[in-house]
Amino acid sequence: MKVIIGLIVLWPLVGFLFNGLGRNIWSKKTIAYKATGYVLASFILSIIAFLNVQAQGAITVHYFDFINTDTLKIPFDFKVDALSSLFLLVITGVGTLIHLYSTAYMKDEEAPHYARYFAYLNLFIFSMLLLVLGDNYVIMFIGWEGVGLCSYLLIGYWFTNATYNYAAKKAFVMNRIGDLGFLLAIFWLIAKLGSVSYGHVLTAESLAKLSTTDITAITLFLFIGAMGKSAQIPLYTWLPDAMAGPTPVSALIHAATMVTAGIYMITRSNILFSASEFTQHVVAIVGISTALLAATIAIKQNDIKKVLAYSTVSQLGYMFLGLGVGAYSGAVFHVITHAFFKALLFLGAGSVIHAMHHEQDIRKMGGLKSKLPITHITFLIGCIAIAGVPPFSGFFSKDEILAAAFAKSPIYWALGVVGAAMTAFYMFRLYATTFLGKFRGTDEQAHHLHESPFAMTLPLILLALASAIAGAIGIPALMGGHHWLSHQLTPIVGETKEVALSHSIEWALMGASVSIAVIALFIAVNRYKRQADGEPNTALGKFLYNKWYVDELYNNAIVQPLNKFAGFLKETIEKNIIDGAVNGTGKIVQYSARKIRLIQNGQVGYYILFIVLGIILLFLFWFNDITINRFFNNLIK
Amino acid sequence: MDTLEILFYALSAFAIVSAIMVLVSKNPIHSVLWLILVFFAISGHYIILNAQFLAIVNIIVYAGAIMVLFLFVIMLMNVQSDKEPQKKLLIKFIGVLSGGSLLILLIALVKQTAQLEGKQVLMKEGTIGLIHPLGKALFNDYVLPFEISSVLFLSAMVGAVIIGKK
Amino acid sequence: MPIQYYIFFCLTLFSIGVIGVLTRRNAIIVFMCIELMLNAVNLLLVAFSKMHNGAALQIAPGSTAGIDAQIFVFFIMVVAAAEVSVGLAIIVMMFRNTHSVDINFLNRLKN
């Protein structure tokens, strides 16, 4: 088992090295096969691992001692239990499909760049696997940093464009801010408990050792880390800008895997979070606010990828809402279903973009239904899933979260339903504008419209299937199902608190949310199937179109003052003071050397004078107490 | 005070005055002459210490040979007293000061040395200054340095000749 | 005579020689002051030899303790003579090149 787990992680690393080091050697075909093959191998091994966990329960695999001192031991262990094996499946599975898709999508790149792309992608999978498999927070942090790095590398993949580089930097810096929170949490844990292993930290005894302030502080810091990685308010603005990267990257990193790292972390630490009411409130409020904020922005966006980006932010908000109200398995469920349908939507968007020759503005699309049939059907399935319409998977996961939210407070539920309605609205706005109606682009684009190659459509089909039927793993007891997922996660998150709602209320809630979503859906389709949005002409429209001016706010409040401060430091302190001191030392040495050199004037008389003076000084030093004191005493006497 | 002491003080005063005159004279030939007088005074000291051999050798070698050599060189240089440049006053002052402080320092040191309290110098008597014991010691214990000093003279002579050649 | 008197006297002569070396500019005069210093030291050595001899004679009459100092004086004179001859040769050489015996002109060691 140890070997298998190790191989799961190592195959993508080998792929990274293979493609990275050999990028000038291999042909595109070799690169494509190898990269995809490695991830596929990891997927197969993940299935084996998953079945093993089903049969034998959770295991911890020890490889070597990473840090081994008297006071702190951090071993390099992997923990394979239901939670991590599920995530393994999702990561490697969706990852394989996206690799396959990328082989066709990135076909136009040169071979070295092609290899670079796949090397980064494999490195990303490796880091994500580390994150998910680690048995302690430090290993998780290594993976955490790794995925942040790969995100930067991949967003800035087309590095010749300055805007893209800026977006990559923005992503990395915002991630870093979150990472600081994560690090502080780790330090706090080490200070209080002396260990970061899950086995030591996430137990009842450890909980007893920590005071309430400790727990609240640690969980808040962990949440800050999650905020950066999973794009919650206020650290979410990087994600829409990250759409500068290639579309498969957006699909993999910013829909299915990296952004879910925060949820994984919080689910793993659920004991800590459940012990802190305050943090749970914070998490829930931040989650629902993000969900609503992003949904409102998405309504007015015209770039196909930006809509999906804001949709991701919004759905992540839902997941955090779920975490905040204690529905851990619900959040994980939503992670899994979201991975499927969001990846599907992104890949579908990529297919559209590919067909439209890199045009991304939906106002120039329309009527693609007939030209791109497979893409159309799969995209539609994705939209229905995300809108939460039964029987597709989105309905089950979202509903579980909403039910738990209602149990906590009806306000959460109401806001959640509003958000769900907006989700349905903007998704179907997107669908209708893109696929229905008449084509609004140029004639030249119309000529080039064609369905994507098999390598791209196969993943679409598989993901559509997954989005459709994945709901089966979490059918609630209400509907006569046996919630397989929450049973799986019970060892980790504890018994799901049986939602103390009567069945009738639950049915009512479900019905309400579904009907509102369906109504919004039809309104959107009706409105947009004939024409696209014009320029926003109301104040509200402008406000939403400009993303609530948050980026501008950040720029003025934070970035500009920092730049000015850095400039001040550079000019005044660096140049004048520090350089002045360093150069001044050199100048002083030179000056004194010039002056002292004149002693060597070649005149013997001077030399002898100095000899005599030296002798006098020597005598004074050797016999100082004798000479001075006693002599002068004698003289006085 | 008995004669010995008077002699001692007189000779010392004479020597010191002559030495100062060596420094102060403008004419170098006068300086040489005053230095010869110093040597005579020191030889006088040797005699009252009963170091007869050294007294005579001092006169012969120093006052006789070395000073004559100096005189030759000075006369060869044609050094004129009125053309000789003087050092700056400041330098002279510093020189006097440092020399003076050296003197004061060393005197102070000596004054406190306990080991030198009460030691007397044997004057007028003692056989070690006579030729016989000196010769015996020189040729028995110190014959090697003696021979090497002859080699030293040889090399000095050769060196002087080589340096002096055009 | 207590030994201190001799020491003081010789120190005086020595420091006069030092002052002479520092003060005078004529190379030959400087050389002469060096000879003066050597002589002062010679006298001191002889005085010390007599001191030791005097002390030793109290204990064992007929001893020749302290004769080493006088032999040392003898060798100092030897060396002084050799040194004077070579030094004066150098000064003559210097005079031939620069037509002056001013030691301030001898600043070839400058810089």
Q: Tell me the domain boundaries of chain A.
A: 1-135, 546-589, 600-637
Higher pLDDT, A369 or B38: B38
* Tally of domains in chain C: 1
Residues A267, A331: contact at Cβ < 8 Å? yes
As given in the structure block, the two tokens for residue C27 are: 């190379």
How many beta-carbon pairs under 8 angstroms link B with C? 230
For residue A609, give the nearest of B95, B106, B111 by CB distance. Answer: B95
Residue range A227-243: mean pLDDT, rounded: 84
Q: What is the pLDDT of residues A13-27, one digit of tens each?
A: 888 888 888 777 878
Convert A475-532 into a string of H (helix), E (strand) and C (coil): CCHHHCCCCHHHHHHHHHHCCCCCCCCCHHHHHHHHHHHHHHHHHHHHHHHHHHCCCC
As given in the structure block, the two tokens for residue A379 are: 């995209």
Q: B147 forms bridges with which residues in the sheet?
A: none
pLDDT of residue A532: 65
Chain B within 8 Å of C60 (Cβ-Cβ)? Answer: no
Residue A239, by phi and psi: left (phi above 0), alpha (psi -120 to 50) or beta? alpha
pLDDT of residue A584: 81
Chain A within 8 Å of C4 (Cβ-Cβ)? Answer: no
Residues C56, C49: contact at Cβ < 8 Å? no
With cut-offs at 50, 70 and 90, classify the pLDDT of residue C84.
very high
Residue range A37-54: mean pLDDT, rounded: 87
Among A174, A374, A383, A189, which Cα is nearest to A269's?
A189
How many Å lie between the alpha carbon of B146 and the closest alpha carbon of chain A? 31
Chain B within 8 Å of C56 (Cβ-Cβ)? Answer: no
With cut-offs at 50, 70 and 90, classify the pLDDT of residue B156.
very high
Residue range A28-44: mean pLDDT, rounded: 85
As given in the structure block, the two tokens for residue A211 are: 């005071």
Residues A40, A96: contact at Cβ < 8 Å? yes
Chain C within 8 Å of A612 (Cβ-Cβ)? Answer: yes
- List, in order, residues 6 or more apart from B9 with CB less than 8 Å away: none
Alpha-carbon span C95 to C109, nearest angstrom: 18
Any chains having at least 3 CB pairs less than 8 A from chain A are B, C
- Provide ipTM, 2 decimals: 0.87
CATH classification of the domain holding C79: 1.10.287.3510
Show residues of chain B in contact with C81, CB under 8 Å: 61, 65-66, 153, 156
Higher pLDDT, B67 or A494: B67
Q: What is the pLDDT of residues A146-174, one digit of tens each?
A: 998 988 898 888 888 888 888 888 888 88
Give the helix/strand (H/E) hosting A188. Answer: helix A162-193
pLDDT of residue A366: 76
Show residues of chain A in contact with B87, CB under 8 Å: 605
Helices (H), A409-483: 410-435, 443-448, 454-469
For residue B106, give the nearest of C11, C75, C83 by CB distance. Answer: C11
Q: What's the whole-model pTM score?
A: 0.66
Residue range A359-377: mean pLDDT, rounded: 81
Residue C62, by phi and psi: left (phi above 0), alpha (psi -120 to 50) or beta? left
- What angle, 0 to 180 degrees and rounded to 10, lies between the N-to-C axes of helices A137-155 and A212-229? 20
Alpha-carbon span B159 to B150, nearest angstrom: 14
Domain span including residue C98: 3-110
CA C35 to chain centroid, in Å, comes to 5
Residues A371, A449: contact at Cβ < 8 Å? yes
Residue range A546-556: mean pLDDT, rounded: 77
Range with top average pLDDT, A327-336, A487-496, A535-544, A619-628: A327-336
Higher pLDDT, C58 or C43: C43
What is the three-class DSSP state of A358?
coil
B138 and C74: CB-CB below 8 Å?
A: yes
Alpha-carbon span A171 to A433, nearest angstrom: 29
Show residues of chain B in contact with C71, CB under 8 Å: 134, 137-138, 142
Torsion angle, alpha carbons of A24, A29, A32, A36, to 10: -130
Residue range A422-433: mean pLDDT, rounded: 88
For residue A604, give the nearest of C18, C106, C111 by CB distance. Answer: C106
pLDDT of residue A599: 65
Q: A65 forms bridges with which residues in the sheet?
A: A75
- List, in order, residues 6 or more apart from A9 with CB less than 8 Å away: A42, A78, A126, A129, A130, A133
A602 and C110: CB-CB below 8 Å?
A: yes
How many beta-carbon pairs under 8 angstroms link A with C? 28
Mean pLDDT of chain A: 82
Query: Per-residue pLDDT for A218 more than 70?
Result: yes
Chain B within 8 Å of C75 (Cβ-Cβ)? Answer: yes
Among A563, B93, A92, A206, which Cα is nearest to C23's?
B93
Chain A 347-376, residues with CB within 8 Å of chain C CB atoms: none
Chain C within 8 Å of B29 (Cβ-Cβ)? Answer: no
Chain A 567-626, residues with CB within 8 Å of chain B CB atoms: 605, 609, 612-613, 615-616, 619-620, 623, 626
